[in-house]
Amino acid sequence: MFNPHHLRSARSISMLSDFERLNHRMHNKSLTVDGIVSIIGGRNVGNEYYSIESNVEFADLDLLMVGKSVRQVNRQFDLYWNSDYSIPIEWITPIEEHYTDADVDKWVQELDLEAKFSGGTYDFAKLPLYNDLINGTVKLYWGIGELLYDLPDKPDSKQSTLIDSLNSVLEDSETSLVFISPYFVPTEQGTKELVAAVQQGLEVIIITNSLASNDVFAVHGWYAKYREDLVKGGVQLWEVKSNAEIKKNWSLTGSSRSSLHTKAMIIDKQKVFVGSMNLDPRSAHLNTEMGVVIEQPEYAQKVYRNLIDEIPKTAYEMKMEDGDLVWFDHTTGETLTSEPEASIWRRMGAWFSGILPIEEQL
C-alpha cells in the first residue's frame, strides 16, 4: 500500500486526522507481464473501466510496449515497491483468512463468469486482439520510447520529474499540440501559455469532458472559468458528449452515458504521450504520475487522423457567437447556448464548486 493510513475502514476520519499526507496519492497505472511486455495508460483496475456492470462507458487508451520502455517500467516499479512510502498490508491490518482455489472456483460458478466471457456476444476468444496475441500477429510500431514518471518522494519533495521532462518535450513542439484529458483545469497560467502557443503559430486542440459526461462536476466548475479565454485565444476546444458512441469490441455495461477517461497528447503528429496524468493541479502537484512518450510518426499520424475524423461525431465544438460561448454539434448542425444534457443540479453543483477555493485540489 502506497502512503496508507492505519484506519482502513474509516477513510473520512483518516483524512481529517492526516489530510496533508494522505492527500498525496499514487496515480501511476501500468501492467507488466514477465518483465517483457507492459501496458501503460490511464485505465484503473475496476469493472467500470473494462465495460462490465456499470452505467458509465469510460473511453480509455492503452499502449502495449516491448523493448527498452519495459525495462524502464520495471525500474519505476522497483523504486515504488522499495520506497519508504510503500507499506506491506500485513503491517496495517491482520489477515484473518486465506482464500483457496476451491473458494475461487465456487465464486466463478456462482457468478457464472466463464459463461459471460466464453460464449455468445462476449466470447473473449473471438476478440481480434486476443487472436493476434495467440497467433503472434500483433502489428507493432517500432520507434523510440521514453518512460517519464514522478519519484515516490514527490509528496515530500514537491517536485514533479514527469512535468519537468514533459515540459522539455512540449517546448520543442513546432506545428501542433493535441491534449486529451478527462479532468482539465488549466489554471490561469496554463491558459496564458496555451493561448501564447496559438499566437506563435501552433495548432492547439484540447478534448475534455462536457459537464454531462464528467463524473466529477467540481472539476468542471473550475475548468469552465477558463473556457472563454481559451476559445477567444484561438484554442480549438471540444467537449465529449455524454451520449457519445464509443468504439469498442464488446461491453457488458448496459451503460446509460459515456465519459472520456483517456489521458494523452499528440505532439507535431510525430510523438504520442500516453499515461496517467490529467491536465490539472492535482496531477501536477499532489499525485504521483507516469506516462510514456513514443516517437513514431506513422503511429502518431494515425492517432491524429482518427481523432480528427471522430471528434466531430462524439464531441461539441466550443465557439464564440455574438460574444457568448456556445456548443456546436457537427452531427446535427445545432448550436446550444447552455451546458448540453446536464441537469440543473449538475449545473448548480459545478457553479458552486467554481466559487470554492479548491482549484489546487482538483
35 in any annotated domain: yes
**What is the rounded average pLDDT of the residues 26-36?**
96
106 in any annotated domain: no
CB neighbours of residue 350 within 10 Å: 22
Name the residue range of residue 308's domain.
27-88+143-361
User: Which 3 state secondary structure label does DSSP give 328?
Assistant: strand
Q: Any catalytic annotation for residue 24?
A: no
51 in any annotated domain: yes
Q: Which of 24, 154, 220, 261 is the catalytic position?
A: 261
Give residue 169's pLDDT band: very low, low, confident or very high (50, 70, 90): very high
Give residue 251's pLDDT band: very low, low, confident or very high (50, 70, 90): very low
Specify the pLDDT at position 247: 59
- Residue scoring higher pLDDT (189 or 118): 189
Q: What CATH number does residue 315 fall under?
A: 3.30.870.10
336 in any annotated domain: yes
312: Cβ–Cβ under 8 A, 6 or more apart, which residues?
330, 331
Q: Which of 24, 241, 263, 271 is the catalytic position?
A: 263
Q: Any catalytic annotation for residue 62?
A: no
- Greatest mean pLDDT among 152-156, 202-206, 349-353 lies in 202-206
Q: Any catalytic annotation for residue 263?
A: yes
Buried b (16+ CB within 10 A) or exposed e, 133-160: eeeeeeeeeebebbbbbbbbebbeeeeb
Residue 100 pLDDT > 60, yes or no?
yes
Q: Which of 60, 150, 268, 280 is the catalytic position?
A: 268
Q: Which of 24, 29, 154, 271 is the catalytic position?
A: 29
Give residue 17's pLDDT band: very low, low, confident or very high (50, 70, 90): confident
**What is the rounded average pLDDT of the residues 87-110?**
88
132 in any annotated domain: no
236 in any annotated domain: yes
Q: Could you tell me the strand order of the sheet in which 290-295 lies?
A: 144-149, 290-295, 271-275, 264-267, 176-180, 203-209, 236-240, 315-321, 324-329, 334-336
7 in any annotated domain: no
The pTM (predicted TM-score) of the whole model is 0.92
Specify the pLDDT at position 111: 85
Residue 50 pLDDT > 90, yes or no?
no
**What is the rounded average pLDDT of the residues 267-282?**
96
Give residue 183's pLDDT band: very low, low, confident or very high (50, 70, 90): very high
Specify the pLDDT at position 5: 86
Residue 14 pLDDT > 60, yes or no?
yes
Specify the pLDDT at position 253: 41
Specify the pLDDT at position 318: 97
Q: Any catalytic annotation for residue 268?
A: yes
Q: Does the CA dihedral 79-82-83-85 come out positive or negative?
A: positive
70 in any annotated domain: yes
Q: What pLDDT, in 10s, does the model give residues 307-334?
A: 999 999 999 999 999 999 999 999 999 9
Q: Could you give the CA distance from residue 143 to residue 294 in angstroms, rounded to a whole number?
A: 7
Q: How many domains does the chain have?
A: 1
Q: Which of 34, 84, 112, 324 is the catalytic position?
A: 34
Specify the pLDDT at position 332: 95
